[in-house]
Amino acid sequence: MANNRPQILLVANRSVHEHMLVPPDVERLQQFADFAWLECDVPFDRTDWTTVPDDPSATAKVAAHVGGVDGLIVCHGSPRISTQILDAASKLQIIGELEGDRFGARIDVEAALARGIRVTDTTNGSSYGVAEWALGMMLNAVRNSGELFRQLIAGGWRLPPNERGFERFELTGKKVGLIGLGIIGRRLVQLLQPFHCEIRAHDPYVPKEVADVLGVLLTSVDQVMADSDVIVCVAPITPKTRRMIGKRELDLVKPGAAIVNVSRGAIFDPEATIERLARGDISGAFDVWDPEPIPADSPIRQLPNVFLTPHISSQTRDGRGRFFKIMVDELDRFFHGYETFYDLGVRTMANRFGAPPPPR
């Protein structure tokens, strides 16, 4: 009898195979599919994320192994899934990017879609930890815990109220403004439910019905900056969002507010951010900065109204295997007749590269 089980191939380096594949999820995949690994070691610049070096030998190697493959998973080490590979993959139905930091550089998405191949992406495996840390950073910012910690380890105790111009406040019931309403932002909205916040967001790519379901008002960047008690950046870094928050936008922030960034440091102009925080009437909490590591002599390290962490929001024990778990979820849905959740389509790719959103 013919084997009707889907044939799934992972193309990645040894580190991915050894560290990102959690055994229970491998076993779960093997319950409905045959699973194999093809080792490739194409280098990838993790400071760029948008290009994969051309490697003819790796491309030929993958092309020689995809003839009977129904589902292809790619990650670090894989060559770009080009037309040469797609032409050799006559049975291919779905390609999954296991961890590409949003830009889908390992896949010729347009060519795959033109062939009727589904393309999905589980980069959001890190989003859960980032959303949790965004909430933690919000709480640190509104209480200005950075200054309190500095005071304590210096041998002091409690600062007099409002000594430095920023008065600590509670998060419950406040106006929260989100820059971005993707997976991180939507998860953060869920985590904020017990705080009964009024939430508004700027995200030109999010479907309005998503905002409706979440109970979030969609608005402009200026409205988020000017009318929020806590501003949280959870937007992706794209050509459109780089330096999106500069002096003009930061000058809109009202005294007594707090700003948080757990996304990418380059979205904020660092000099303008330092200048606004140095006035002392707002507080800030940043897991990311530009550049990273933060220079030792950067004034942001010394500002008393700032709480800093070294880009660790996604670095958790729980998050390490989540990318593959979500990928198995997607393959399970797809091969059992259900819709995948995390497709790389025209709207998603427009968002990731900062292009105008397509008509709704």
What is the percent of the chain with per-residue pLDDT over 70, rounded to a whole number?
96
pLDDT tens per residue, range 99-116: 866 678 899 999 999 999
Q: Which backbone phi and psi does 36 adopt, to 5 degrees?
A: -140, 160
Q: Catalytic residue, from 163, 167, 271, 292: name it.
A: 292
Q: What is the pLDDT of residue 190?
A: 98
pLDDT at 139 over 80: yes
Q: Is the dihedral of CA 337, 341, 347, 348 positive or negative?
A: negative
CA distance 104 to 30: 26
Instruction: Quick: pLDDT tens for 319-330.
Output: 888 999 999 999
Banded pLDDT at 17 (limits 50, 70, 90): very high
Give residue 359's pLDDT.
74
Residue 1 has pLDDT above 50, yes or no: no
Clarify whether 339 is annotated catalytic: no
Average pLDDT over residues 152-176: 87
Evaluate the CA torsion angle 209, 215, 219, 224 in order and state its sign: negative
Query: Could you read off the pLDDT of 301-341 as tens digits, one per residue?
Result: 999 999 999 999 999 988 888 999 999 999 999 999 999 99
For 207, phi then psi, to 5°, come to -60, 140
Burial 195-219 (b: 16+ CB within 10 A, else e): bebebbbbbebbeeebbeebebebb
Q: Which of 311, 320, 333, 347 is catalytic?
A: 311
- What's the distance, Cα to Cα, between the start and end of the chain in Å? 46
**Per-residue confidence band for 239, with pLDDT thresholds at 50, 70 and 90:** confident
- Tokens at residue 190, please? 């869920």
Per DSSP, the three-state class of 28 is: helix
Q: What is the pTM of this model?
A: 0.91
Residue 311 annotated to the active site? yes
Out of 3.90.550.10, 1.20.120.140, 3.40.50.720, 3.30.70.560, which CATH number does the structure's domain 127-308 have? Answer: 3.40.50.720
Question: Number of helices and strands (H, E) in the chain?
Answer: 14, 12
Distance, CA of 158 to CA of 151 (rounded, Å): 7
> If one looks up domain 7-121+321-352 in CATH, what number appears?
3.40.50.720
The catalytic residue among 102, 106, 143, 264 is 264
Domain boundary assignment for the chain: 7-121+321-352, 127-308
Poorest-confidence range of 217-221, 234-238, 242-246, 269-273? 234-238
Cβ distance 320 to 20 under 8 Å? yes
* 348 vs 256 pLDDT, higher one: 256
pLDDT at position 301? 97
Identical fold between 7-121+321-352 and 127-308: yes
Known catalytic residue at 196: no
